[in-house]
């Protein structure tokens, strides 16, 4: 079966800056693909090209096996976008926003009314039906934003940082809604800076660097690229001595945001780690399983490797 989205060889320059340099990514039908990468690496540029808000200098995108260039405007009816900047009208009520975007997509009135009622219900917006959107909290605005992107029942959903700037409770609710979409078979391409979010929601993750995909795989596949089975984070009053001790044990050392980390070649208990480090200079130690954040930091090279 052809992929839902086939993005091949995208190039994009803004002035003299080459943002996309042969970016390719295929998203299978029904999968949630996470696109990760540092600020400014070009994630939103890719999504905007897929949604035809930007034109690539070269390369092509196919939706369900058909080139976007040939589908033209009809592709917009098949793709839903929840952009990084909230596109809602603050002076309108939630349902009025849904109707507005439903009209833009040309939904016939009866179908639109039914769809708006269904989304108000499934997104729990009922209690806020009489509240102007500008007065809703950030979390509820983001929920409505997600509902708006679904008003025309798109085959592919594009989410650009869907939970940025919302609190923990609102994020969990949005995760639940996105999981519901995933479980009902919606194809999703999403960006995020929250590694725990990508780990929880995405079937596969692509890590972007230098304008293209630098690593692609399921979360376990990316975790397997970390040269360690567990991560020890520690504080030491004499980091030189601690580094020497850890390295003599064969542990790979990293400096992360001023903190020392070691990658353990095999899983050890906290007691075994403390005994192995054995020194009065070590004041705090924690041992954790390798996470997507560790894999990401290894891949984008933000960690200083201590040789
Ligand atoms: N319309 C534009 N005109 C000029 N430069 C642009 C334009 N859009 C994006 N850029 C630049 O292209 C680069 C990539 O931007 P983009 O928004 O795609 O990054 P991003 O990966 O989404 O970043 P973030 O994680 O901060 O959202 C940035 O340097 C940005 O300043
Ligand atoms: Mg962006």
Q: What pLDDT, on the 0 to 100 scale, is given for residue 277?
A: 87
Confidence check: pLDDT of 107 > 70: yes
Q: What pLDDT, on the 0 to 100 scale, is given for residue 302?
A: 59
The CA R_g of the chain, rounded to the nearest whole Å, is 23
CA distances to 27, 62, 150 from 154, in Å: 15, 15, 6
Tell me the CA–centroid distance for residue 83 and ligand 2, in Å.
9
Which atom of ligand 1 approaches the CA of 84 most closely?
A: 27
> Quick check: is 51 in a domain?
yes
pLDDT band at 306 (very low <50, low <70, confident <90, very high): low
Answer yes or no: do 41 and 183 share one domain: yes
Residue 44 beta carbon below 6 angstroms from any ligand 1 atom: yes
Q: Answer with the one of 183, 218, 253 that is the final residue of a domain.
A: 218
Answer yes or no: do 213 and 234 share one domain: no
- Structural domains counted in the chain: 2
Q: Roughly how many angstroms between the first and final C-alpha of the chain, as a whole number?
A: 47
Supply φ then ψ for residue 271, to 5 degrees. Answer: -60, -45
Task: Kindly report the CATH number assigned to the domain that includes residue 263.
Answer: 3.30.70
Query: Ligand 1: which of 44, 50, 51 to mutate, judged by most atoms within 8 Å of the beta carbon?
Result: 44
> Quick check: is 189 in a domain?
yes
Q: What pLDDT, on the 0 to 100 scale, is given for residue 303?
A: 58
Answer yes or no: do 235 and 183 share one domain: no
> Quick check: is 48 in a domain?
yes
- How many Å apart are CA 24 and CA 20, to the nearest integer? 10
pLDDT digits 0-9 by tens, 6-31: 999 999 999 989 999 999 999 999 99
Please list the residues that pair with 22 across neighbouring strands: none
- How many Å apart are CA 188 and CA 158, to the nearest integer? 6
Please list the residues that pair with 216 across neighbouring strands: 206
Answer yes or no: do 212 and 243 share one domain: no
User: Looking at per-residue confidence, does 182 or 85 come out higher?
Assistant: 182
Answer yes or no: do 180 and 276 share one domain: no
- How many Å apart are CA 280 and CA 159, to the nearest integer? 49
Tell me the CA–centroid distance for residue 42 and ligand 1, in Å.
6
> Quick check: is 302 in a domain?
no
Residues of the domain holding 249: 230-289
> Quick check: is 258 in a domain?
yes
Residue 106 beta carbon below 6 angstroms from any ligand 1 atom: no
Supply φ then ψ for residue 121, to 5 degrees. Answer: -70, -55
pLDDT digits 0-9 by tens, 140-149: 999 999 999 9
Instruction: Taking residues 239-250, report their average pLDDT.
Output: 90
Give the burial class of 92: count Cβ atoms within 10 A of its Cβ; 0-12 exposed, 13-18 middle, 19 or more buried.
Answer: middle
> Quick check: is 134 in a domain?
yes
Tell me the CA–centroid distance for residue 12 and ligand 2, in Å.
15
User: Contact, 228 vs 290, CB < 8 A?
Assistant: yes
Residue among 102, 93, 182 nearest 140 (CA): 93
**Average pLDDT, rounded, for the chain:** 93
- Helix boundaries (H) for the chain: 43-50, 68-71, 94-104, 109-122, 138-149, 168-183, 195-201, 219-223, 239-248, 270-277, 292-300
Give the burial class of 95: count Cβ atoms within 10 A of its Cβ; 0-12 exposed, 13-18 middle, 19 or more buried.
Answer: buried
> Quick check: is 16 in a domain?
yes
- How many Å apart are CA 306 and CA 287, to the nearest integer? 19
Task: Kindly report the CATH number assigned to the domain that includes residue 181.
Answer: 3.40.50.300
Answer yes or no: do 250 and 121 share one domain: no
User: Contact, 191 vs 81, CB < 8 A?
Assistant: no
Q: Answer with the one of 157, 186, 218 that is the final residue of a domain.
A: 218
> Quick check: is 294 in a domain?
no
Residue among 93, 166, 99, 85 nearest 135 (CA): 93
Supply φ then ψ for residue 264, to 5 degrees. Answer: -85, 130
Answer yes or no: do 234 and 209 share one domain: no
pLDDT digits 0-9 by tens, 161-191: 999 988 898 899 999 999 999 999 999 999 9
Residue of the nearest CA to atom 4 in ligand 1? 14
pTM score, two decimals? Answer: 0.91
Residue 42 beta carbon below 6 angstroms from any ligand 1 atom: yes
- How many Å apart are CA 207 and CA 258, to the nearest integer? 24
Please list the residues that pair with 253 across neighbouring strands: 262, 306
Answer yes or no: do 97 and 54 share one domain: yes
Answer yes or no: do 111 and 49 share one domain: yes
Q: Answer with the one of 183, 198, 218 that is the final residue of a domain.
A: 218
Answer yes or no: do 127 and 187 share one domain: yes
Answer yes or no: do 163 and 238 share one domain: no
Answer yes or no: do 31 and 142 share one domain: yes
């Amino acid at each position: 079966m052809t992929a839902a989205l086939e993005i091949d060889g995208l190039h994009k320059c803004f002035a003299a800056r080459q943002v996309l340099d042969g970016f390719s990514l295929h998203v299978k039908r029904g999968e949630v693909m996470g696109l990760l990468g540092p600020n400014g690496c070009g994630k939103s540029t890719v999504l905007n090209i897929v949604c035809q808000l930007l034109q690539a200098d070269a390369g092509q995108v196919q939706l369900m096996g058909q080139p976007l260039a040939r589908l033209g405007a009809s592709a917009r009816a098949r793709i839903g976008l929840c952009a990084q900047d909230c596109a809602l009208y603050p002076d309108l009520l939630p349902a009025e926003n849904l109707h507005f975007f439903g009209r833009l997509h040309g939904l016939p009135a009866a179908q639109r009314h039914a769809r708006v009622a269904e989304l108000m219900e499934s997104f729990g917006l009922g209690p806020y039906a009489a509240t102007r959107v500008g007065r809703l909290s950030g979390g509820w605005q983001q929920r409505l934003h997600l509902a708006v992107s679904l008003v025309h029942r798109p085959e592919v959903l594009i989410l650009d940082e869907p939970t940025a700037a919302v609190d923990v409770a609102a994020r969990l609710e949005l995760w639940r809604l996105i999981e519901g979409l995933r479980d009902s078979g919606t194809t999703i391409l999403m960006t995020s800076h929250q590694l725990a979010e990508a780990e929880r929601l995405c079937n596969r993750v692509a890590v972007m660097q230098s304008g293209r995909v630098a690593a692609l795989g399921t979360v376990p596949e990316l975790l397997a690229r970390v040269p360690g089975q567990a991560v020890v984070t520690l504080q030491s009053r004499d980091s030189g001595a601690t580094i020497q001790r850890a390295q003599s044990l064969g542990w790979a050392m990293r400096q992360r945001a001023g903190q020392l980390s070691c990658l353990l070649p095999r899983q050890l208990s906290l007691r075994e780690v403390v005994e192995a480090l054995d020194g009065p200079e070590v004041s705090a130690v924690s041992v954790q399983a390798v996470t997507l954040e560790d894999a990401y930091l290894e891949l984008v090279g933000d960690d200083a490797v201590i040789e």
